[in-house]
A and B are shown apart, each in its own frame.
Chain A
């Protein structure tokens, strides 16, 4: 007698049932935690909810990229902190990448001195805790610098003291929009020329003369626009008034030391990633390229680096994420980043720890996921295309 199969003998149904059970367990686990937290907060008469974000903050922040006063809301303070984190992370990633690539290649240099200097740098910097390096760049350097009244000056227009770096501000007299557009025109035309030259080279094998100078257009076009439209440039020199310097552009020491510590530290790790990437390209590639008559620089640029990048990018992403997250150490040296402003001062003024920490974690998570997304896209773009 042919018996119809029992439902538990159906592997698909079984797998579905188990997944459902696991989902249920995980779901109820999360639900219990959230519910329990809310109940306990209410029972202990601790304020909860996100309404506090609209209340006035009442405290000052040293570095703000957007308008912020003491009357601004906690939500605005959150934005200020977030932008400060973003600022140091983006510039830090930029500096660390350039420095890291330079050091990684230097460590493989055939020049004994260059290779040794790179090795010593990498081994020293990546083996000292970041927090200590941060304190070094902040306190050791701060102590060595003079007070505002005895500032080190460069031609009496730029100043360096323990309150920061002050340079003259260049104020444009004229239409800034047109100047911005001219920069855009310069970039686009440089890119078009480069594309044309590449196509020409691929089709005919002939190298367009002077194409290497195309990027200069990015500077030349705005300068021409500047001269043609008779715009002026006024320099505002910082001057000592009262307790410190007023006017000009300035960088606070907290920002500078955080940036230095983060990028020097991360650069050491990136250098090792770069070295491993380059060593992963077999020696045969170099020898083959040399046999074709290529010179050392084109060998590196056209043969080694594109292949090495496939190995470098995934760990490079991790380093970028590390740098962003490490920027939260800023709280130790008073740089007003997200953690210092929001989960420091705001948390304490409002006492709403659960909400504040949840928001902070969400922001770091989103920032990291976004970085991963961009880097994964870049990785796919660079990955080996199998033919």
Chain B
């Protein structure tokens, strides 16, 4: 073989080798999307891969192997998901994430949080960066279908409201003709504002920021007359204002905003676990089981409570998790009412009454199918 040929052959071999090495890497790229469990075996690319790559498995397996649940949360919304000075997260969305961790691992602390902007949240879930999105996210038809996601419940019934300065003397949203309205980009609120003002024949101009801190800053600086987002968000953002008593939330609610957790479409078992973690908290409140009395309640004769706490039946087994799943949730996180009062209730700075989020028997909408 001629010496001058050597580099050429070498280049060819390296090129082909690189091709072979890269092919399985990208053909096996679906490991980044582990949600799809059922259809995977039929994937020809995964089979054709000559190198052993991690095949897609169920979210539950991946979570167990990793040792903790990854939840997508807000970038700081007091009452829902907000970090304190030492970086510990709290709020009702965080509680839901902790409940899932308690159900799977028996330890609520085996949960980690990824703060996401409104814009990033769905991509983070689709790409497998997080296991469940517990971030004050409105359930709508488009999001449930076109994004490859499934909403599995509603942990807060919300609606869009408006906040204005008291000095404007505005008493109703209908008086906001010609107003400048501030909000976040990439939210359903942007659409609701457009619909509301258009259908009522009112003029408006919208200023949309990417981060809520900037929305608040712009509203505080007087750039806009009104600040609109979910009513719960208004109460919580109002706390960030310099003089929050100078601002008033208008009485009208212009939309339905059911906020709830979402998981990737196609992994039914994981969807069930998240769904029933939420239901367990609601059911516990209805049955009067709290974090304090759950231990004693295990000896009760009430069959509904015995089933919920895993004393009777094997309901956890059906979900693929330990039978004392709900007991762990209730003792470590609390029931829905406890979580609500701790995060957003009347005794917190937010001071939100239960309203729609009361149990069905108290005139609210929170209702859990029976655990049986």
Contact = CB atoms under 8 A, between A and B. Distances in A.
A40 B207 CA distance: 36
A59 interface: yes
Given A60-B205, A333-B209, A40 B33 contact: yes
B210 A351 contact: no
A351 B178 contact: no
Interface stretch (B7-15, B78-86, B250-258): B7-15
A243 B209 CA distance: 21
A45 B23 contact: no
Interface in B69-87: none
Nearest to A348: B186
A359 interface: no
A8 B2 contact: yes
B221 A143 contact: yes
A237 B68 CA distance: 64
B191 A348 contact: no
A60 B23 contact: no
Interface of A: 8-9, 14, 17-18, 21-22, 24-25, 28-29, 32-33, 36, 39-41, 43-47, 58-62, 70, 139, 142-143, 147, 162-163, 241-244, 246, 253-254, 331-334, 336, 340, 344-345, 347-353
A28 B8 contact: no
Interface string B163-185: 00000000000001111101001
Given A25-B15, A349-B191, A351-B142, A44 B209 contact: no
Interface stretch (B117-125, B152-160, B283-291, B329-337): B117-125
B242 to A, nearest CB: 11
Contacts of B146: 46-47, 350-352
Contact of A9 (B2, B186, B194): B2
Contacts of B16: 21, 25
B126 A44 contact: yes
Contacts of B221: 139, 142-143, 162
Given A241-B178, A340-B210, A345-B190, A36 B29 contact: yes
Contacts of B141: none
| Chief secondary structure at chain A's binding surface | helix
B115 interface: no
Given A39-B30, A331-B210, 10 more contacts: A18-B11, A40-B29, A44-B265, A60-B206, A142-B218, A162-B221, A243-B178, A334-B182, A334-B218, A351-B122
Given A44-B36, A44-B126, A70 B198 contact: yes
Contacts of B191: 58-59, 349
B360 interface: no
9 contacts: A21-B11, A43-B30, A59-B191, A142-B222, A243-B178, A332-B209, A348-B187, A349-B191, A351-B146
A334 B148 contact: no
A40 to B, nearest CB: 6
A208 B271 CA distance: 86
Contact of B195 (A41, A45, A58, A352): A58
Nearest to A335: B207
Most buried by B among A41, A139, A147, A344: A344
B54 to A, nearest CB: 15
A69 to B, nearest CB: 8
Interface in B30-73: 30, 33, 35-36, 39, 43, 45
Residue of B35, B126, B143, B221 most packed against chain A (CB within 10 A): B221
Q: Which 8 A-B pairs have the closest CB atoms?
A: A348-B186, A44-B148, A46-B148, A47-B146, A344-B185, A351-B147, A242-B178, A70-B194
Contacts of B178: 241-244, 246
B12 A58 contact: no
